[in-house]
Structure 1
Amino acid sequence: MVTVPFYRGWFDLYVYYGTINDWVRHSGQIYDYLLPGTPYGFTYPPFAALCMLPDALVPRGVAVGLAFALNTAASVYLLRRLVPGWPPVVAVCLFAMLEPVRDSFSLGQVNLPLLALVLTDLRPHRFSGVGIGLAAAVKLTPALFIGSLLLTRRRRAAGTATGVALAATGAGWLLAPGPSRRYWTSALWDTGRVGDPAYVSNQSLRGVLARLGDPGHPVLWPLLVLAVLAVWAHRVRRAPDQLTAFALTGAAACLVSPVTWVHHLVWLLPALVLARSAVGHVLLCSSLVWLWRFDAPGWPGVAGVVGFLGANAYVWFTLWLLLRRYRARPLTPHQTP
């Protein structure tokens, strides 16, 4: 496990670092920068770039250390919130073995801190909604948690989250008007900026269709998204507690997003904890989908069917997490009815 942080070579962090330094030091444009030798650039809203401005003040090696420390702090918070009372060694080992967690560390990704921000709003408090609002301003995926607050009748928290998200986005527009205009009018809708949707790492419903050659994509994918959101809304309204509502929301967000890379699946952590599924945990530790990294699955023959099922294994597991029944758990200080 000591070697895992170096596996992905801090790739995403280098994109962030290069973007911020090009923007600040060379008057570059946030969405024009590409990591040298790659077609990949910055894909988050301008407010996220503002949050990353400290990267312009430190050498790249220090930025790596800061990202590692931030992910570590977020991980400690998540374990304390999701599995209070577990033996620390057991909790840390099971957590660190998960592929989305490993990739989040080794890419220098931001999803673990964003999930930690969201879970600060798990139970009502004076500032409920601030964490979700900030997370939604950095990345669009957490915005679905505002819907969860509304469905569970936490309207004040939902209003706070919406207000914070809009205020943070407005700050991004005020301080970076050009990049903001470009992001919200064009870059946001260009999913090709983040990579090939058919790549096996894209474990969303859109990824499944892309790997099948996009059958019925203009119509079928929106219908699937609407179906998932309908199931999600029904289940969240009947959720026995807030943790279950958040768990269902994380699963739905992964399914409906156009691109859900494997490291994005840290949003499944609340559902994984509630499901208490050893098979599911082993699956998310297995890197199974990568067996089909260079071989796009298809239907003909047994090998094609096995490839289709295996290459989309995390999608099927996410669907199961959305559809399975969850029991109400005894309340802890970190939960609320």
Structure 2
Amino acid sequence: MRGPRRSGGVRARPARLRPRTERGRLLLVLLLVAAVTAFTATVPLLRDFFDLRVYYGTVHTWAHHGGRIYDYRVPGTVYGFTYPPFAAVAMLPLALLGRTTAIAMSLLVNLAALAAVLRILAGPGGGRHGWYRWALCLCLLAMFEPLRDTVSFGQVNLVLLALVLADSLLLTAGRGRWAGVGTGLAAAVKLTPVLFIGLLLLAGRRRAAATATAVAAAATALAAWVDPAASRFYWTEALWDTGRVGRLDYVSNQSLQGVLARLGEPGRPLWASVVLVTLCVWAWRARRAVAAGDWPAAFALTGIAACLVSPITWVHHLVWLLPSFAVLVRAGHRRTAGALYAVLCTSMVWLWSGDASGPDGFLGANAYVWVALGLLLGLPAGQPRAARRPLPRSASATAPAPSAESPATTAAGDQSESSSAAGAPAAASGTAAGWRREGGRSPSSEPTGSTCPAAANPQSRSARASSYTVNPPSA
């Protein structure tokens, strides 16, 4: 026998398998939580808040013991503070906290930043998804390696991402008066967001670019006023010595420079050429996105390019790829987004941490770089809104055809549950209301440069190294 047909002679699609009751949904969420817990307890490496220990020790040494910002090193390692001086100024509140309290505050700040990022990526309609979809989203995020490492290291990536996305939200909503403030603050804390100022210039948003530049300059000047010696050392010496951060060929370095270093070609001329080509591709694609008013895609492309061209991009830095997955879902490419996202949840690059030679090492040890390159080249940007799939209609609920006197309108009630569950694509035009994101993104974990083998070069001159590093604060 033939299966049932919808009115109009079209075969009805089988219902998707999903729990239809609250009890079923709760059971599914509990099963996913158990699976995620088992995964995070066995596959990823937990980082024991190493980077937070760097921040904490640096600030306590500087504020309470007269030490120098760039002389502190975590006892037993050569790793110390590597950010611009303003980052240390911004972290001064750590000097008032004990270690346990500092860890708790780090978790709270990262959770708040993640909530802000998700709210921006979800767009104005994010609140209608309900607890079930958000629970699924959080389960998937808990497996995303860059996000997992950011939290486990006590890193600042999520906070910086939230600051930059706030500017994207302002530009998307047409409220650009304060756009640039978030980008400027982020660029003063870490150099990766500087490329977003380039995006504002590329887009002709001179006011926003000027605001970002002024904020970054003011923050940098404040740090120079607070500690002139630290600022002088950072901008004249530390900034140009990538060896302070870690080995370029370490597998955690998922940048173009990391690929070349693992191939035995760490020379700067070749790297500079590759970076120039990458930036040209980024500029071309970002301009198309901006011309169409697709600010979410433009910001996502900039985050991808920043990770690729940076000399060192530890795996936890790849949280800057999160907006690109939201763009993919918005454009209707959910399977592609899921496949690429799954790669970033596997921690697969660590299989080649000891030996990245050979064809398998070239492909596997650089897997996250290939994902980033694929997103840079193929991310939907500056395109019209993806067409929605036809919605099933029953014989008892068929909308009448529009007439000339009654133009057709789109009612919110016409959207099926399956369409909303997958995340309806957001507008990619100049009037785009915001970012929409499917409740499915999975995070995973990975070590950063802080845990990589000791670099050949110390993080600061040993002659000025603080003796306080031997006796870290016991608070």
Residue 12 (str. 1) matches residue 51 (str. 2): yes
Question: Match for 1:158 among 185, 202, 209?
Answer: 209
Q: How far off its partner does 1:153 sit? A: 2.0
> Once the two structures are superposed, what CA deviation does each residue of 1:254-295 show, in whole Å capped at 9, x if it has no partner?
000000000000011111221241111100111110101111
Matches within 5 A, 1:43-122: 43-84=82-123, 85=126, 86=129, 87-122=133-168
1:36 aligns with: 75
Paired residue secondary structure (2:59): helix
2:315 aligns with: 262
Matches within 5 A, 1:139-150: 139-150=190-201
Paired residue secondary structure (1:97): coil
Structure with a larger share of its residues in helix: 1
Paired residue secondary structure (2:178): coil
Question: Match for 2:250 among 199, 210, 228?
Answer: 199
Q: Mind listing any 5+ residue stretches in structure 2 that lack a counterpart?
A: 1-35, 330-336, 385-425, 436-475
1:247 aligns with: 300
* Alpha-carbon distance between aligned partners in 1 of 2:78 and 2:325, rounded to the nearest angstrom: 34
- AA at the equivalent of 1:67: S
> Once the two structures are superposed, what CA deviation does each residue of 1:87-141 show, in whole Å capped at 9, x if it has no partner?
2112212222100000000000000000000011013333110000000000000
Matches within 5 A, 1:163-312: 163-214=214-265, 217-239=267-289, 240=292, 241-276=294-329, 277-295=337-355, 297-298=356-357, 304-312=358-366
> Once the two structures are superposed, what CA deviation does each residue of 1:57-96 show, in whole Å capped at 9, x if it has no partner?
0101111111110000010111111124352112212222
Of the structure 1 ranges 87-96 and 136-145, higher mean CA displacement relative to structure 2 is found in 87-96
> Once the two structures are superposed, what CA deviation does each residue of 1:282-335 show, in whole Å capped at 9, x if it has no partner?
00111110101111x22xxxxx10111000000011001100041444265436
* Alpha-carbon distance between aligned partners in 2 of 1:144 and 1:219, rounded to the nearest angstrom: 21
- AA at the equivalent of 1:63: A
- AA at the equivalent of 1:97: M
2:15 aligns with: none
Query: Is the Cα contact below 8 Å between 2:327 and 2:379 reproduced in 1?
Result: no
Of the structure 1 ranges 238-247 and 149-158, higher mean CA displacement relative to structure 2 is found in 149-158
Aligned-CA RMSD value: 1.7
TM-score by length of structure 2 reads: 0.67
Q: Count residues in correspondence.
A: 329
Larger radius of gyration: 2
Residue 317 (str. 1) matches residue 371 (str. 2): yes
Query: Is the Cα contact below 8 Å between 1:133 and 1:163 reproduced in 2?
Result: yes
* Alpha-carbon distance between aligned partners in 1 of 2:255 and 2:370, rounded to the nearest angstrom: 10
Query: Is the Cα contact below 8 Å between 1:275 and 1:321 reproduced in 2?
Result: no
Paired residue secondary structure (1:7): coil
> Once the two structures are superposed, what CA deviation does each residue of 1:165-205 show, in whole Å capped at 9, x if it has no partner?
00100101111100000000000111111111111000000
Query: Is the Cα contact below 8 Å between 1:47 and 1:168 reproduced in 2?
Result: yes
* Alpha-carbon distance between aligned partners in 2 of 1:121 and 1:108, rounded to the nearest angstrom: 24
Question: Match for 1:334 among 434, 443, 451?
Answer: 434
Identity of aligned residues (%): 58
| 120 and 306 in structure 1: CA distance in 2 versus 1, 3 angstrom threshold | same
- AA at the equivalent of 1:118: V
Which contiguous aligned blocks of 4+ residues in structure 1 show a shift greater than 3 angstroms?
A: 1-6, 331-335
Q: Mind listing any 5+ residue stretches in structure 1 that lack a counterpart?
A: 299-303
Query: Is the Cα contact below 8 Å between 2:56 and 2:94 reproduced in 1?
Result: yes
* Alpha-carbon distance between aligned partners in 1 of 2:224 and 2:269, rounded to the nearest angstrom: 33
Query: Is the Cα contact below 8 Å between 1:43 and 1:194 reproduced in 2?
Result: yes
